[in-house]
């Protein structure tokens, strides 16, 4: 069974929700966790909840990186930050992967500074999942979008490598044997989007180990056309945050409408099951967490607003990825694709 290092101090509801998520994992699964952070605060939370002490170890870290901290500055100054100490546990072999709900930029930088890059990988990618319609039986309800912010602008080689890495990750984690990979572009034609995208298109078309379906456009993101969607970090970041903003807006609007208008209140009560589903779906941050790809070890970045359930899910995803040899799969995809 894998051991997961968990940054107890990362996220808007840390350490409470993180510790609760780890406690859940300890009673419900065989996964071992190392909780990294302020020992006394972790103990305080643990003392009030049910957990399996055989499955949880605490590693004290005196500092932590705040959600609003500048990543570069924070990583330079706070050498004893929980996130950094957790990453070091992984490189030292005391844990197999890392889960944090903390500062995303710091998480990427911690990987860059602590983990060894997979041989041949030029730039790291932060991948994220989001729910969309299903188009074929057995298709995963969630699509994988990368990069969503690790590499602002990309060359063709980087986009191709993101496709190889994302495809390998999806093959292992989502159980889709041949995930459909697409480039996010402003047109479906192979001549669209500028030099890097045109070049990446041609190279992916020739790649034998990627199920490349071509370009998709913005309106296809809500459909099930692709399982793995490739774009540069700037675009992926805007898309992901837009999706999150809209999901929140829908839940907000429905709530406000229900409070202010008896008709809506009545209607929403009738629709309750459906709206519950929608809320679940819009709460997709809870589903899995975003892997940082390109290193010999895996970091799963859980959403900053992660609840215990979201943290527990991210730990499960991390454990599954370790068991299924995701980083080896990625390394072999990069080697063959090079």
- Kindly list the residues in this chain that would bind a copy of itself in the complex (CB under 8 A): 133, 149, 152-153, 184, 186, 193-194, 217-223, 231, 233-235, 237-246, 248-249, 257, 261, 263-264, 266-268, 270-271, 273-274
Q: Which helix (H) or strand (E) holds 317?
A: helix 308-323
Residue 146 CB, shortest distance to a copy of itself, in Å, is 14
C-beta of 77 vs 253, nearer to a copy of itself = 253
C-beta of 117 vs 267, nearer to a copy of itself = 267
DSSP state of 11: S
Residue 229 CB, shortest distance to a copy of itself, in Å, is 11
82 three-class SS: helix
Residue 253 CB, shortest distance to a copy of itself, in Å, is 9
Are the beta carbons of 23 and 56 closer than 8 angstroms? yes
C-beta of 244 vs 324, nearer to a copy of itself = 244
Exposure b/e, 292-301, CB count within 10 A at least 16 = b: bbbbbbbbbb
Alpha helices in the chain (DSSP H): 16-28, 39-47, 71-77, 82-91, 104-114, 156-173, 195-206, 233-260, 262-270, 272-282, 308-323, 326-337
Residue 232 CB, shortest distance to a copy of itself, in Å, is 9
C-beta of 101 vs 216, nearer to a copy of itself = 216
C-beta of 217 vs 324, nearer to a copy of itself = 217
Which residue, among 327, 324, 320, has the nearest Cα to 25 in the 3D structure? Answer: 320
81 three-class SS: strand
Q: Which helix (H) or strand (E) holds 308?
A: helix 308-323
Alpha helices in 31-184 (DSSP H): 39-47, 71-77, 82-91, 104-114, 156-173
C-beta of 12 vs 248, nearer to a copy of itself = 248
C-beta of 50 vs 152, nearer to a copy of itself = 152
Q: Which helix (H) or strand (E) holds 279?
A: helix 272-282
Residues composing the chain? 338
Residue 213 CB, shortest distance to a copy of itself, in Å, is 17
Residue 85 CB, shortest distance to a copy of itself, in Å, is 26
Residue 134 CB, shortest distance to a copy of itself, in Å, is 13
């Amino acid at each position: 069974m894998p051991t997961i290092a968990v940054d107890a101090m990362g996220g808007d509801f840390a350490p409470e929700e993180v510790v609760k998520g780890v406690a859940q994992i300890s009673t419900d699964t065989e996964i071992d966790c190392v909780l990294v952070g302020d020992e006394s605060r972790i103990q305080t939370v643990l003392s009030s909840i049910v957990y399996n002490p055989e499955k949880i170890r605490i590693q004290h870290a005196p500092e932590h990186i705040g959600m609003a901290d500048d990543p570069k500055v924070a990583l330079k100054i706070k050498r004893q930050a929980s996130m950094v100490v957790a990453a070091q546990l992984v490189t030292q072999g005391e844990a197999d992967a890392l889960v944090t709900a903390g500062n995303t930029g710091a998480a990427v930088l911690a990987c860059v500074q602590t983990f060894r890059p997979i041989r041949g990988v030029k730039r790291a990618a932060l991948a994220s999942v989001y729910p969309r319609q299903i188009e074929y039986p057995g298709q995963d309800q969630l699509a994988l979008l990368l990069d969503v912010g690790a590499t602002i602008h990309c060359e063709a080689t980087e986009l191709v490598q993101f496709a190889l890495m994302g495809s390998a990750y999806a093959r292992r984690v989502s159980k889709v044997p041949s995930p459909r990979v697409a480039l996010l572009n402003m047109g479906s034609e192979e001549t669209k989007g500028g030099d890097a995208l045109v070049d990446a298109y041609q190279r992916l078309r020739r790649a034998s180990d990627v199920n490349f379906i071509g370009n998709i456009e913005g309106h296809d993101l809500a459909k099930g056309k692709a399982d793995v969607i490739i774009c540069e970090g700037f675009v992926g970041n805007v898309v992901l945050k837009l999706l999150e903003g809209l999901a929140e807006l829908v839940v907000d609007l429905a709530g406000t409408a229900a409070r202010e208008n008896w008709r809506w209140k009545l209607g929403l009560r009738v629709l309750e099951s459906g709206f519950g589903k929608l809320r679940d779906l819009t709460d997709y941050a809870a589903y899995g967490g975003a892997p940082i790809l390109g290193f010999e070890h895996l970091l799963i970045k859980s959403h900053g607003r992660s609840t215990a359930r979201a943290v527990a899910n991210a730990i499960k995803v991390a454990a599954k990825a370790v068991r299924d040899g995701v980083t080896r799969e990625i390394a072999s995809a990069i080697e063959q694709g090079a």
